[in-house]
Amino acid sequence: MRNETIAIHAGYEPEATTHAVAVPIYQTAAYAFDSADHGAALFNLEAEGFRYSRIANPTSAVLEKRIAQLEGGVGALAVATGQAALHFAFVNVADHGGNIVSVPQLYGTTHTLLSHILPRQGIIGRFAESDQPDAIAKLIDENTRAVFAETIGNPAGNVCDIEALARIAHAHGVPLIVDNTVATPILLKPFDYGADIAVHSLTKFLGGHGTTLGGAIVDSGNFPWAKHADRFPAYNKPDASYHGLVYAERFGRTAYIERARSVYQRTMGSVLSPFNAFLLLQGIETVALRMERHVENARKVAEFLRKDSRVAWVNYTGFPDSPYYPLVQKYLDGNASSLFTFGIKGGMEAGKTFYDALKLITRLVNIGDAKSLACHPASTTHRQMSAEQQRTAGVLPETIRLSIGIEHVSDIIEDIDQALEKACPSARLQAAE
Ligand SMILES: Cc1ncc(COP(=O)(O)O)c(C=O)c1O
């Protein structure tokens, strides 16, 4: 099946008892056992079924199957937020200590997780100087447990060379974990290029309406955990917390995602509510259609900004002179992201006046809504970073990040035009002269 069809049908057929066509919301904490033996078989992971909604829930299970199929993976785990998904994704490879080698262009909170929070738990985030494969290679050592990148960086908009990063990670015997939130599997399927694990904030383009937080981890099933037994003892030695289970032996290709569920979802929670799973499923039904319009509108807005004399720079990877343009062709089939940044003439002050003058475009910290959104990263999402860290993450004091929605593009452009007019009227006059 193709994306559009998977997004609407995968993981669910009208269920046997009521024949409900929409995915039912199973608002239940627990599930009845037929017998003591049945309960034991469920706990032993020998029988298929549900026992308690912290571990799995039928509504969330449909969402998991749908996302796994969209990504071309062998399984997925849905969790409460994108950050919970990232946390579980990292600790699930590095909970015996070690380091994660990352590109520097990350969503601010993920940067904080790797640079401040995980180190307190013995997992060190190592940031490369750039997203170039040789910069990543330099930092990998015997304690590395994964390479990490956002397929499209938020907010830098950089497109990572997934194939090259996967090659380097695999040459060192570690998996490549990617955050595919901004691209979505509609624009890019990282497993086709060798990534091993994909993580999502479902809050963004996949959910698509800015109503519901959610996250997911997807397992490609391709990383050979048993081959790298010394580096990943958690997959290859009996797990005392689960009556001696050896994950790689027992689950083979689904070892990573089963361990994420059995170890982290089971003991730490971060559960997605069934109602939120339902809402996210509604959003996902239209994701392919929406992404087309997001991409198209963004291209027109970026072209408008680039021609405008009040604008100092536009960082849009769909322009042929962007250093990422060849990667946009290779990985995104020419569909540059609707998330991009620009700076207006007059620096920080003019940027703030522009931001405050927006009427249709919402001022907030979110991306991937049907609505057009704007953010000033230096004062919000990236404010915990030093100026130098902000710069390597692609954030300047005047940077405005746009997430272009699916409204009529003329309305979006008219709003930007009137806000630019308030921020730098003299530039307009100069242009007219
Ligand atoms: C690329 C990326 N990953 C992860 C997250 C975190 O997602 P959530 O807000 O669902 O926890 C975000 C949030 O903006 C994001 O932009």
> 């046997």: which residue's tokens?
16
Mean pLDDT estimate for the chain: 95
pLDDT of residue 241: 87
pLDDT of residue 43: 86
Report whether residue 381 contacts ligand 1, using a CB cutoff of 6 Å.
no
Cα–Cα distance, 371 to 405 (Å, whole number):
4
Ligand 1 pocket: which of 187, 188, 203 to mutate (most atoms within 8 A of CB): 203
Report whether residue 215 contacts ligand 1, using a CB cutoff of 6 Å.
yes
- Rounded to two decimals, the pTM is 0.96
> Are 3-283 and 288-432 the same fold in CATH?
no
Identify the H or E element spanning 254.
none
Q: Is the pLDDT of residue 64 over 70?
A: yes
Per DSSP, 125 falls in state E
Condensed to tens digits (0 to 9), the pLDDT of residues 240-282 reads 988 899 999 999 999 999 999 999 999 999 999 999 999 999 9
> Number of H helices and number of E strands within the chain?
19, 12
Question: Fold for domain 3-283?
Answer: Aspartate Aminotransferase; domain 2 (3.40.640)
Q: Is the pLDDT of residue 322 over 90?
A: yes
Report DSSP letters for 307-365, one per residue: H-TTEEEEE-TTSTTSTTHHHHHHHHTT---SEEEEEETTHHHHHHHHHHH-SSSEESS
CATH code for the structural domain at 288-432: 3.90.1150.10
The more confident residue out of 188 and 243 is: 188
* 309 Cα–ligand 1 center, Å: 33
Torsion of CA 240, 241, 244, 247, to 10 degrees: -120
Q: Is the pLDDT of residue 432 over 60?
A: no
Ligand 1 pocket: which of 87, 88, 105, 110 to mutate (most atoms within 8 A of CB): 110
Report whether residue 184 contacts ligand 1, using a CB cutoff of 6 Å.
no
Q: Is the pLDDT of residue 198 over 70?
A: yes
Report whether residue 182 contacts ligand 1, using a CB cutoff of 6 Å.
yes
Q: Where are the domains of the chain?
A: 3-283, 288-432
Condensed to tens digits (0 to 9), the pLDDT of residues 205-244 reads 999 999 999 999 999 999 999 999 999 999 999 999 888 9
End-to-end CA distance of the chain: 56
Condensed to tens digits (0 to 9), the pLDDT of residues 323-374 reads 999 999 999 999 999 999 999 998 888 888 999 999 999 999 899 999 999 9
Nearest CA to ligand 1 atom 7: 82
* 342 Cα–ligand 1 center, Å: 21
Strand partners, 374: 363, 402
Condensed to tens digits (0 to 9), the pLDDT of residues 367-413 reads 999 999 999 888 787 777 788 888 877 788 888 999 999 999 999 99
pLDDT of residue 429: 54
